[in-house]
């Protein structure tokens, strides 16, 4: 057995070398951070739930023809993934106004407030650079600075809008409104093909109960609402996922 080597320790995940040259292992931690890690807590079980939820969504998207880095879930906290070089863009899709969109643009000209349904999905790019606080950029910045080619950006937007439609339907069927979410893409080692990477979980989506408007995502932590793990578990339950590993860890 080869010993795994830690390659990268992120805010919510750690990346290790995988069993093959073209694979990696991503480990889901219980760390919750917000406001560029100025706020931090350990929320027991969050990593287990995000691993399960992200696996479910990645498999669903793969099934619907979206290329992803996901290979398989290995255990309650780890996934085997394909090695990619991450494009340093956070691609955010918004269906309903919330978060930084409202803070940045609501005013006399753009009459939005929390909960305004947007006329069409809005795709935004943020530079993945903690030291600069992940600033918003135009697609032209990505082109001008060589972060991605025009063809790659076209592929990214196409996948992103399809993912939005698929995820809106998936969540609506379990009584959840998909308000907004963040995606990351990478280039597969070898072919350079663009694939969906990172994770899709309540850490990087806004998810509201259709009936009550209850928040079922990381805003519970950002806004000190409490009950984050219970909310993520509700999402996992609604998606029909087996959360017994969470109960087992809590017993141990
Ligand atoms: P925002 O309203 O704070 O810009 O966030 C929009 C969506 O993107 C929201 O679902 C949270 C997600 N997001 C991340 O996952 N990571 C980030 O670093 C940021 C800024 C947003």
pLDDT along the chain (252 residues), means of 10: 87 97 97 92 97 98 98 98 97 98 97 98 97 97 98 98 98 98 96 97 98 98 97 98 86 74
Q: How far is the CA of 21 from the centre of ligand 1 (A)?
A: 32
* Nearest residue to 25 via CA among 61, 77, 85, 68: 77
Residue nearest to atom 15 of ligand 1 (CA): 204
154: CB partners within 8 A, 6+ apart: none
Q: At what angle do helices 46-63 and 150-172 cross, to 10 degrees?
A: 110
Distance CA 15, CA 153 (A): 25
pLDDT at res. 247: 83
Q: How far is the CA of 20 from the centre of ligand 1 (A)?
A: 32
Residue nearest to atom 16 of ligand 1 (CA): 204
The length of the chain in residues reads 252
Residues with CB under 6 A from ligand 1: 90, 92, 98-101, 134, 180-182, 204-206
- What pTM did the predictor assign? 0.97
Q: How far is the CA of 19 from the centre of ligand 1 (A)?
A: 32
Q: How far is the CA of 206 from the centre of ligand 1 (A)?
A: 8
Residue nearest to atom 11 of ligand 1 (CA): 204
Let me know: does 12 contact 34? Beta carbons within 8 Å.
no
Mutation choice for ligand 1 from 53, 92, 221, CB with most ligand atoms inside 8 A: 92
The 10s digit of each residue's pLDDT in 165-223 is: 999 999 999 999 999 999 999 999 889 999 999 999 999 999 999 999 999 999 999 99
Q: Can you tell me whether residue 125 is helix, strand or coil?
A: strand
Ordered by where they begin, the domains of the chain are 6-83+228-251 (3.30.200.20), 85-209 (3.30.470.20)
Distance CA 156, CA 91 (A): 9
Burial string for 202-216 (b: 16+ CB within 10 Å, else e) reads bbbbbbbeeeeeebb
Q: How far is the CA of 37 from the centre of ligand 1 (A)?
A: 13
Q: How far is the CA of 4 from the centre of ligand 1 (A)?
A: 31
* Nearest residue to 203 via CA among 33, 21, 7, 85: 33
């Amino acid at each position: 057995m080869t010993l795994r080597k830690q390659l990268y320790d992120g805010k919510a995940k750690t990346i290790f070398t995988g069993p093959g040259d073209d694979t990696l292992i991503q480990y889901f931690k219980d760390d919750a951070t917000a406001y560029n890690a100025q706020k931090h807590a350990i929320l027991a079980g969050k990593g287990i739930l995000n691993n399960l939820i992200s696996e479910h969504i990645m498999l669903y998207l793969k099934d619907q023809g979206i290329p992803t880095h996901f290979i398989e879930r290995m255990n309650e906290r780890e996934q085997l993934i394909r090695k990619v070089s991450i494009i340093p863009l956070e691609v955010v899709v918004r269906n309903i106004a919330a978060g930084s969109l409202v803070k940045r643009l609501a005013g006399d000209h753009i009459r939005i407030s929390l909960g305004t349904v947007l006329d069409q999905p809005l795709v935004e790019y943020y530079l993945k650079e903690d030291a600069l606080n992940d600033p918003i950029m135009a697609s032209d910045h990505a082109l001008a600075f060589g972060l991605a080619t025009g063809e790659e950006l076209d592929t990214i937007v196409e996948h992103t809008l399809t993912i939005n439609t698929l995820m809106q339907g998936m969540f609506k069927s379990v009584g959840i409104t998909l308000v907004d979410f963040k995606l990351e893409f990478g280039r597969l080692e070898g072919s350079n093909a663009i694939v969906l990477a990172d994770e899709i979980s309540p850490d990087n989506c806004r998810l509201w109960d259709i009936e009550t408007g209850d928040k079922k995502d990381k805003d519970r932590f950002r806004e000190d609402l409490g009950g984050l793990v219970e909310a993520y578990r509700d999402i996992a339950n609604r998606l029909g996922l087996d959360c017994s590993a969470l109960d087992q860890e809590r017993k141990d």
